[in-house]
């Protein structure tokens, strides 16, 4: 089941959001990984988000877990409009995991950073997906809601030349000389998938100099950026970060399947109306 919808504007709804969220402090994020010289960022975005939601559902500390198999997505998810080391989309990868009946562990299906032949025989199942929720494109209020109320979210954005020199602080691609952003903001130009693991502001909320941001997990190793993470300016669809966001609906075991789905879908029931309403 793939869900998507339109956020219902509600002032009390927005006021109920915490000023900041950081899922890295909750024990559900696995160690930072490195995709190497393979255009497989979409697989790391998929596993990073799915690992977190699986750990949330099972209430396990996953800070030392090696996690799920990106290589399986590289090798096996081609029928879902993905292209291994030449790119793909997390939402389509979640669909693959759902219809495949799960994804193996990283430990059993080791990452090689190159296209390979699909073979999951005798490997250990790491997680399953019951459904996918696609957040309304360009709706950052809904994106923030999902991060706060559900968990980490897979997002994508346009990596421009200036981003490659990022080291710390809030990334803002605006160029005062040209009076426009260096990166593109439309979904047709997003070229890198990552995981939004939180959000915050640089100063007190409401301060004139305060800059809102997303906390984003990258897949370029833990020596890049701020221990493998970066802050992306929030509220302006910076570099298309809210163009194609999604998260999986998961459950730890079949026994807890329906309770977990009800809990996750409560998010959709609270803030989403179906098309035409």
Tokens of 227: 């221990």
Please give the class, per CATH, of domain 19-264: alpha beta
Q: Is 192 annotated in the active site?
A: yes
pLDDT tens digit sequence for 131-160: 999 998 999 999 999 999 999 999 999 999
Residue tagged active-site, from 53, 85, 100, 192: 192
Global pTM reads: 0.87
Evaluated on CA atoms 136, 137, 139, 143, the torsion sign reads positive
Residue tagged active-site, from 38, 41, 55, 76: 41
Secondary structure element (H or E) that encloses residue 212, with its range: strand 212-217
pLDDT tens digit sequence for 20-71: 999 999 999 999 999 999 999 999 999 999 999 999 998 889 999 999 999 9
**Beta bridge partner(s), residue 245:** none
DSSP characters for 228-242? Answer: TEEEEETTTTGGGTT
Rounded to the nearest 10°, the torsion over CA 232, 65, 267, 128 is: 120
Q: Is 41 annotated in the active site?
A: yes
For 17, the 3-state DSSP assignment is: coil
Distance (Å) of CA 13 to CA 18, 19, 214: 11, 13, 20
Give the list of residues 6+ apart from residue 236 with CB closer than 8 angstroms, or none.
Answer: none
Residue tagged active-site, from 62, 82, 100, 218: 218
């Amino acid at each position: 089941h793939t869900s998507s919808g339109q956020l219902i504007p509600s002032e009390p709804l927005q006021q109920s959001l915490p000023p900041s969220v950081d899922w890295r402090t909750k024990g559900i994020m696995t160690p930072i990984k490195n995709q190497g010289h393979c255009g497989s960022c979409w697989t790391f975005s998929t596993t990073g988000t799915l690992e977190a939601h699986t750990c949330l559902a099972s209430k396990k500390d996953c800070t030392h877990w090696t996690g799920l198999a990106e290589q399986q997505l590289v090798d096996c998810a081609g029928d879902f409009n993905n292209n291994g080391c030449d790119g793909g989309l997390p939402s389509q990868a979640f669909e693959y995991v759902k219809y495949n009946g799960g994804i193996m562990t990283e430990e059993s299906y080791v990452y090689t950073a190159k296209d390979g032949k699909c073979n999951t025989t005798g490997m250990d199942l790491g997680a399953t997906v019951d459904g996918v929720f696609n957040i309304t494109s360009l709706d950052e209020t809904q994106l923030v809601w999902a991060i706060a109320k559900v968990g980490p979210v897979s997002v994508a954005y346009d990596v421009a030349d200036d981003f490659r020199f990022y080291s710390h602080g809030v990334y803002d691609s605006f160029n005062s000389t040209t009076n426009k952003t260096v990166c593109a903001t439309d979904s047709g130009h997003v070229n890198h998938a990552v995981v939004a693991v939180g959000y915050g502001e640089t100063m007190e909320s409401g301060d004139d100099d305060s800059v809102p941001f997303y906390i984003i997990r990258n897949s370029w190793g833990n020596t890049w950026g701020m221990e493998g993470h970066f802050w992306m300016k929030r509220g302006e669809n910076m570099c298309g970060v809210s163009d194609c966001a999604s998260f999986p609906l998961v459950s730890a075991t079949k026994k807890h399947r329906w309770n977990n789905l009800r809990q996750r879908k409560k998010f959709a029931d609270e803030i989403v109306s179906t098309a035409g309403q």
